[in-house]
Amino acid sequence: MTSGLYPSPLLLLLCLLHVSGETCPSVCLCISDTVSCSSSGLAKLPQSLPSFSITLDLSHNHLSWLGPGSFSIMPKLENLRMAHNQLSVLGHGVFQNASGLRHLDLSSNRLHVVEQHYFQGLWRLEELLLFNNKITQVEASTLSGLSSLKKAYFSLNKITHFPFFSIQDHSHPFLTMLDLSSNRMSNLPWEDVKALPRLVQRGLYLHNNTLICDCSMYSVFWHWDLRGYDSMTNFAEEHTCSIYGDQRASIRFLQYNRFFHNCTVEKAVSQPVTVLLSSVLVTDGDKVRLDCQTSLSKDSAELSFTWLSPSKGYITKTSINDTLISLFPNGTLEIQAAKVNDSGQYVCTAVNIKHSLNATREVNVTVLQPVGESFNTGYTTLLGCVVTMVFILMYLYLTPCRCNCCKQPKCLAVPVATYDQNTLKSAVSPSIGDHRKLQTNKHVAFMEPMISEEGTEWTPES
Ligand SMILES: *[C@@H]1O[C@H](CO)[C@@H](O)[C@H](O)[C@H]1NC(C)=O
Ligand SMILES: *[C@@H]1O[C@H](CO)[C@@H](O)[C@H](O)[C@H]1NC(C)=O
Ligand SMILES: *[C@@H]1O[C@H](CO)[C@@H](O)[C@H](O)[C@H]1NC(C)=O
Ligand SMILES: *[C@@H]1O[C@H](CO)[C@@H](O)[C@H](O)[C@H]1NC(C)=O
Ligand SMILES: *[C@@H]1O[C@H](CO)[C@@H](O)[C@H](O)[C@H]1NC(C)=O
Ligand SMILES: *[C@@H]1O[C@H](CO)[C@@H](O)[C@H](O)[C@H]1NC(C)=O
Ligand SMILES: *[C@@H]1O[C@H](CO)[C@@H](O)[C@H](O)[C@H]1NC(C)=O
Ligand SMILES: *[C@@H]1O[C@H](CO)[C@@H](O)[C@H](O)[C@H]1NC(C)=O
């Protein structure tokens, strides 16, 4: 059943092709919008290609020459694959009327110079594959009109010079991959490289070239490495340079950087490298360790650390005068027993003095009161209240009366005239009865002073 059904869609397709007046070249396979003529032994382009194709695959053939306007009959062409052919030169106007091209694969051919007219008019081109050719030179304005370019692969060639200056923010706003690895570049125009848009620098691959070790080269790679670009992390081993241009004395400079000790890595590229944030939650009395891991930490031997703490201000190696706090050589700050008032934002600054670089790390520390203690505090407060109440009551009902009685003639049973020690003594003893009287109507004690004139003297006590 199924085997019987199978050929019919193919027949239908072929019928359609014939109906629309288009023929699929006999050596090719035409499927919907794709024409595949790969590995067909072609030495030249087939005569008639279907005009509606979006993808044309001519890879693995023997093409060595393409005439002007070769693809002008395919106005919808977007993907053109010509890898593994024998093209050594592209004549003028090969891609004339093919401005819809977005993906162009010319890898593994024999191109030796990329002339500036090659890709003229391909302003929609996003991906250009030129790896594994014999390219020695890329002419200055080759890439100029390619304003949609996202990825360009030039690796495995013999390029000695590349027009970095022609790539700028406004000319190539989408370029994020420029592979120039495995070429023959020994001296790059490092100033031009540093002037490349940040996105291009991030996607620039330069490993496995014949670089000559020098400080300007090292400076560029050092900063890329610091920023953790994939080109550095994925190809650390392949980044080599030769000392004094001697290919036999080649070093992996990302690992063995002793040669560059005398280099000053410029400040120009040294914005604050990273700010790493984190937060820490501990309980009162706990030991706290705050790491100062920053992007500079790789060279921790060359770093000095400063912590800014909310409770103790700046903390440096020399300022510590406290056994409860320590700052380790790796920047870790240790607080033996954190207090609630140690909470807040801690900022560590790691400074690489030699390279004038610094990086910061922020840690928000929150020290919580332990659950047990908060109860204790409450209990203590409660006890304090009770004690205070007792004292107030004692004061009100015991102490003030004596004074009051002395001052207020009304409540005195004895004459004040004879005012000496003895009379006072005698005066106090009979007043006990009065005191008892006061005690029976307590509230009066509070009310009276406010009413009586003399009471004003009485209220402001202790
Ligand atoms: C090809 O482009 C030229 C201008 O570059 C134009 O004059 C010509 O009509 C185009 N041909 C086709 C078939 O589109
Ligand atoms: C380095 O480049 C050479 C050609 O210049 C190539 O043969 C070799 O395979 C490349 N090595 C790596 C690891 O890419
Ligand atoms: C670095 O400088 C010192 C003296 O300042 C010198 O002895 C040494 O050879 C230099 N190293 C290199 C690799 O240039
Ligand atoms: C730390 O606290 C500060 C201010 O309290 C706040 O602005 C910042 O976002 C906090 N950072 C983190 C990592 O929580
Ligand atoms: C923080 O609290 C501790 C006791 O809990 C006290 O000794 C210290 O002085 C306080 N520090 C500040 C900055 O308030
Ligand atoms: C360290 O503390 C002692 C007393 O604890 C004080 O006399 C001394 O001046 C302090 N030193 C510094 C550098 O703060
Ligand atoms: C820093 O050193 C201290 C003490 O040697 C150690 O406990 C801590 O783990 C180290 N921190 C890091 C991030 O290596
Ligand atoms: C960090 O670097 C900036 C500029 O490079 C500098 O102004 C600042 O003082 C540095 N901070 C520290 C703590 O060294």
Taken in order of first residue, the domains within the chain and their CATH numbers are 275-371 (2.60.40.10)
Looking at the chain, the whole-number percentage of residues with pLDDT higher than 70 is 70
Residue closest via CA to ligand 7's atom 8 equals 332
Segment among 75-89, 138-152, 318-332, 371-385 with least mean pLDDT: 371-385
pLDDT of 97 higher than 70? yes
Please tell me which residue, 107 or 275, carries the higher pLDDT value: 107
CB neighbour list of residue 153: distance below 8 Å, 6 or more residues apart: 107, 128, 129, 130, 131, 177, 179
DSSP string, 196-251: S-HHHHHTEE--SS-PBP-HHHHHHHHHHHHTT-HHHHHTTTT-EEEGGG-TTSEE
Residues 146, 120 contacting (CB under 8 angstroms): no
Please tell me which residue, 333 or 3, carries the higher pLDDT value: 333
Segment among 348-362, 391-405, 442-456 with least mean pLDDT: 442-456
Residues 458, 404 contacting (CB under 8 angstroms): yes
Average pLDDT over residues 32-56: 92
11 three-state secondary structure: helix
Residue closest via CA to ligand 2's atom 2 equals 182
Give the H/E segment covering residue 282. Answer: strand 275-283
Q: Which atom of ligand 1 is nearest to the CA of 72?
A: 13
pLDDT category, 433, cuts 50, 70, 90?
A: very low
Residues 407, 365 contacting (CB under 8 angstroms): no
pLDDT of 302 higher than 60? yes
Task: Identify the nearest ligand to the CA of 209 by its number.
Answer: 2
pLDDT of 346 higher than 80? yes
170 three-state secondary structure: coil
Query: Burial level of 257, CB count in 10 A (0-12/13-18/19+)?
Result: middle
Cα of 278 vs centre of ligand 4, distance in Å, is: 9
pLDDT at 1: 39
Residue closest via CA to ligand 1's atom 7 equals 97
CB neighbour list of residue 68: distance below 8 Å, 6 or more residues apart: 91, 92, 93, 94, 96
Determine if ligand 7 sits within 6 Å of the CB of residue 148. Answer: no
pLDDT at 2: 40
pLDDT category, 393, cuts 50, 70, 90?
A: low
Determine if ligand 5 sits within 6 Å of the CB of residue 339. Answer: yes
Nearest residue to 29 (alpha-carbon basis) of 64, 5, 56, 9: 56
pLDDT of 341 higher than 90? no
DSSP-derived pairing of the beta strands 177-179 and 137-138: unpaired
Mean pLDDT of the chain: 77
Cα of 330 vs centre of ligand 7, distance in Å, is: 6
Nearest residue to 167 (alpha-carbon basis) of 130, 187, 131, 140: 140
Determine if ligand 7 sits within 6 Å of the CB of residue 256. Answer: no
How far from the centroid of its chain's Cα atoms is residue 8's Cα? Answer: 57
> pLDDT tens for residues 158-211?
999 999 999 988 899 999 999 999 999 999 999 999 899 989 999 999 999 999
Looking at the chain, the whole-number percentage of residues with pLDDT higher than 90 is 39
pLDDT at 313: 87
pLDDT of 409 higher than 80? no
Please tell me which residue, 350 or 436, carries the higher pLDDT value: 350
Cα of 321 vs centre of ligand 6, distance in Å, is: 6
pLDDT at 434: 45
> pLDDT tens for residues 138-150?
999 999 999 999 9
Determine if ligand 4 sits within 6 Å of the CB of residue 345. Answer: yes
> pLDDT tens for residues 238-255?
999 998 777 778 888 887
Determine if ligand 4 sits within 6 Å of the CB of residue 20. Answer: no
Average pLDDT over residues 293-301: 70
**To test ligand 5's pocket by mutation, which of 283, 284, 311 has the most ligand atoms within 8 angstroms of CB?**
311
pLDDT category, 389, cuts 50, 70, 90?
A: low
Task: Identify the nearest ligand to the CA of 273 by its number.
Answer: 8
Segment among 33-42, 108-117, 198-207, 386-395 with least mean pLDDT: 386-395
pLDDT category, 228, cuts 50, 70, 90?
A: confident
